[in-house]
Amino acid sequence: MAFAIRDKFPVRPLHTLIIPKRHVMDIFASDADEREAIHELALQCREAIGSEDSSVSGFNFGSNIGHAAGQKIFHAHVHLIPRRLDEAELLAARPD
């Protein structure tokens, strides 16, 4: 019901997209089974990413819904973006 691919324009290394196979405009248009499949696949991807890169210590997990929110591809998808502690430290150290 869903598949995962690496983002063509990743925000961070190993940025992954989780996409329902059925065409729906956004995640709110998906049904409960599709959302469950997306969530289960996200768990598998999270584990695989952690095995591939031990520096990953957190994730952003979400979806841009609608043009105003930055949605550019109008087929539902969820971003799984690996985060690393050194990224947070670099962001915190930046001057305003």
- Look up tokens 């957190």; give the residue: 58
The catalytically annotated residue of 23, 39, 67, 77 is 77
For the question of residue 77 being annotated catalytic, the response is: yes
The residues assigned a catalytic role are 77
